[in-house]
Amino acid sequence: MKTFNFTVKYSRTVYAVIGRDMSDMPSQFPALFSGADKLCLVTDGAAPRSLKARAAALFPPGKAEYFTFALPASEKAKTPDQAWKLCSFLFLKGFSRDSLLIAAGGGAVTDLTGFAASVYMRGINWISAPTTFLAQIDAGLGGKTAVNLRGAKNVVGTFHQPALAVCDTAFLDSLPHAELRSGAGELVKYAMIGPGPLRRAVEKNLSKALAGDESALTTCTAACAAYKIKLVAKDERDETGLRERLNLGHTAGHAFEALAGGRMPHGEAVARGLRFALILSARTGRLPGPAFKKLDALITALRLPSPPELGRDFRKFLALVSMDKKARGAHNRFLLVNAPGRLEAAENVKMALLKKAFDGALK
Ligand SMILES: NC(=O)c1ccc[n+]([C@@H]2O[C@H](COP(=O)([O-])OP(=O)(O)OC[C@H]3O[C@@H](n4cnc5c(N)ncnc54)[C@H](O)[C@@H]3O)[C@@H](O)[C@H]2O)c1
C-alpha cells in the first residue's frame, strides 16, 4: 500500500491522507479523535452496506459516544431541510463543539455534512472521507460546503475546512461504472487546467481509470488531490482568481445538471460543460484546432450517454448561466481555454456563439 500524506496550512491545519486499504485513523491522528466526546458518521442511505462497514473500520469509535445519520441519495441530500435535520439530530443528541462529524460518501454527503459542521454551534470539527472517484479528486477536498436552493446548485454555502481528509481508494471498488465515468469528467478537467505532468498523468491513466483499474485510480486520485490541495492553499476563499480555475466547465455544467432535473450526474454535466468551454474557446479564436482536438478527445473517451430530452431548453440554460455566482453582474461569464493549463475569463459572450456551444455540448 502506498499512502500520500499532506499537511496544509489553510485558515487551519488540514491533514490529508490518500492511499488504499487504510485503517484506524484515530491511532494516526490521536489529537483529533481523543478529544472528541461524540462522533457522528454521516452517510448516503442509498450507498452499499460495505461502505458503512469500511468507514466504521477507518473510524472506530474508541471512547467517544457513536452515532450514525443517513442522508437521502445524491442531490436530495443537499437541501437546507436536510442540513437542519442533521443539525437538529446533533442538538438532540447533545453534540457540542468538542464533538466530531465524519462524512463518508460522495460529494453530496461531504458538501452537506461540511455545511452542517460549519453552522452547528458556529462551527465544529468534521472529517471528509470521500467515497466516490469524483469526491476523492475534488469535492471532498478544499473546504467548500454547500446546499442547493430551488434547484440551483450550491447557492447557499460556506468555507469550512475539514480537519482531516481521508481518500481511501478501496471505497471505489463498489462504485458503479456510471459514477466512475462521472468522476472522470472532473478528471478530464484537471488535464485542462493543470500543469504538464498532471495532464500527462491523466492522459496516460484515463482509460484504465474508467475501467476501474486500482492502480490508475490511486495514481489519478493522488495527482489531482495533491494539485487541488496546493492550489486551494494559495487561494482558500476563492478571492485571487487562482482557485477559480477549478470551475472550468462548471458554469455551463451546473446549468446542464439543473436542466436535467437529477438525471445527469455532476461529473457528466461538468464534462459537457468542458466541451461547451472548448467550443467557445475555439470559436472565439483562443484555442487552436490541434489543441482543441486533443482536449476534446479526452471528453470523447468518456463515452457519455445521450443527455435527457428535458435538458435541452436553451432559454432556461441562458437564465441559469446568468444567475451563476461567478457572473458578477455580466449577462454571462465563462472560463475559456487558451492552451492546456492557460485559462481566461470571457464575459457577455454573444447569443449565437452560446447556442453553437450549447448544441455541440449536448450532441
Ligand atoms: N465542494 C466542492 O468543492 C465540490 C467540487 C465538485 C463537486 N461538488 C459536488 O459534489 C456532488 C457530486 O458528488 P458525487 O459525484 O460524489 O455524487 P454523489 O454524492 O451524488 O454520489 C453519487 C452516487 O454514488 C453512490 N456512492 C457513493 N459512494 C459509493 C461507493 N463507494 N460505492 C458505490 N456507490 C457509492 C451514492 O449513493 C450516489 O448514488 C455535487 O453535488 C457537486 O456539486 C463539490
pLDDT tens for 153-211 read 899 999 999 999 999 999 999 999 999 999 999 999 999 999 999 999 999 999 999 99
- How high is the pLDDT of residue 118? 98
Mutation pick for ligand 1 pocket among 111, 182, 236 (CB with most ligand atoms within 8 Å): 111
- How high is the pLDDT of residue 50? 93
Q: 107 and 130: one domain?
A: yes
Query: pLDDT, tens digit, for every residue of 54-83?
Result: 999 999 988 899 999 999 999 999 999 999
Residues 6+ apart with CB under 8 A from 73: 44, 45, 46, 47, 108
C-alpha torsion sign, points 139, 164, 203, 184: negative
* CA-closest candidate to residue 170, choices 265, 55, 68: 55
What's the Cα-to-Cα distance from 355 to each of 23, 287, 335, 359, 360, rounded to whole Å? 50, 18, 17, 6, 8
CA nearest ligand 1 atom 8, residue: 139
* CA 144–ligand 1 middle distance (angstroms): 14
The C-alpha cell that represents 288 in the structure block:
487552436
What is the Cα–Cα distance from 48 to 363, expressed in whole angstroms?
A: 33
- How high is the pLDDT of residue 151? 80
Whether 109 lines ligand 1, by a CB cut-off of 6 Å, is: yes
Of 145, 174, 203, the residue that ends a domain is 174
- How high is the pLDDT of residue 21? 86
User: Quick one: what percent of the chain has pLDDT higher than 70?
Assistant: 98
What is the Cα–Cα distance from 110 to 280, expressed in whole angstroms?
A: 32
CA nearest ligand 1 atom 12, residue: 107
Q: Say if CB 335 and CB 343 are below 8 A apart.
A: yes
Query: pLDDT, tens digit, for every residue of 228-287?
Result: 998 999 999 999 999 999 999 999 999 999 999 889 999 999 999 999 999 999 999 999
Confidence of residue 2 (pLDDT cuts 50, 70, 90): low
- How high is the pLDDT of residue 311? 77
Of 174, 208, 225, the residue that ends a domain is 174
Q: 190 and 162: one domain?
A: no
Q: 34 and 169: one domain?
A: yes
Place of cell 471498488: 173
The SS3 assignment for 155 reads strand
Q: 57 and 10: one domain?
A: yes
CA nearest ligand 1 atom 34, residue: 175
Of 111, 140, 174, the residue that ends a domain is 174
Q: 156 and 182: one domain?
A: no
Q: 217 and 357: one domain?
A: yes
Residue 201 belongs to a domain with what CATH number? Answer: 1.20.1090.10
Which domain, by its residues, includes 301? 177-361
pTM over 0.85: yes
* CA 25–ligand 1 middle distance (angstroms): 22
Whether 51 lines ligand 1, by a CB cut-off of 6 Å, is: yes
- How high is the pLDDT of residue 152? 83
- Nearest atom in ligand 1 to the alpha carbon of residue 174 is 32
Does residue 6 carry a pLDDT above 80?
no
Q: How many domains does the structure of the chain reveal?
A: 2
What is the Cα–Cα distance from 1 to 309, expressed in whole angstroms?
A: 45
List, in sequence order, every residue forming a beta bridge with 102; answer none if it has no partner: 41, 127
Across the chain, mean pLDDT equals 94
- How high is the pLDDT of residue 354? 98
Residue 53 belongs to a domain with what CATH number? Answer: 3.40.50.1970
Q: 182 and 238: one domain?
A: yes
Helical H segments across the chain, by residue range: 25-28, 30-34, 49-58, 80-92, 107-119, 133-134, 177-193, 196-210, 214-234, 250-259, 266-283, 289-300, 314-322, 351-361
Q: 26 and 170: one domain?
A: yes
Query: pLDDT, tens digit, for every residue of 95-142?
Result: 999 999 999 999 999 999 999 999 999 999 999 999 999 999 999 999
Q: 55 and 186: one domain?
A: no
Q: Which residues belong to the active site? A: 122, 144, 186, 228, 239, 243, 247, 250, 254, 266
- How high is the pLDDT of residue 262? 85
* CA-closest candidate to residue 64, choices 38, 103, 97, 29: 38
* CA 232–ligand 1 middle distance (angstroms): 20
Confidence of residue 10 (pLDDT cuts 50, 70, 90): confident
CA nearest ligand 1 atom 25, residue: 47
Mutation pick for ligand 1 pocket among 20, 50, 160, 179 (CB with most ligand atoms within 8 Å): 179
- Nearest atom in ligand 1 to the alpha carbon of residue 144 is 1
The C-alpha cell that represents 200 in the structure block:
500527462
Q: 169 and 238: one domain?
A: no
Q: 168 and 181: one domain?
A: no
**Range with the lowest mean pLDDT among 3-7, 329-333, 349-353?**
3-7
Q: Say if CB 159 and CB 171 are below 8 A apart.
A: no
- Nearest atom in ligand 1 to the alpha carbon of residue 109 is 19
CA nearest ligand 1 atom 33, residue: 175
The SS3 assignment for 84 reads helix
- How high is the pLDDT of residue 34? 92
Q: Say if CB 101 and CB 75 are below 8 A apart.
A: no
Q: 32 and 165: one domain?
A: yes
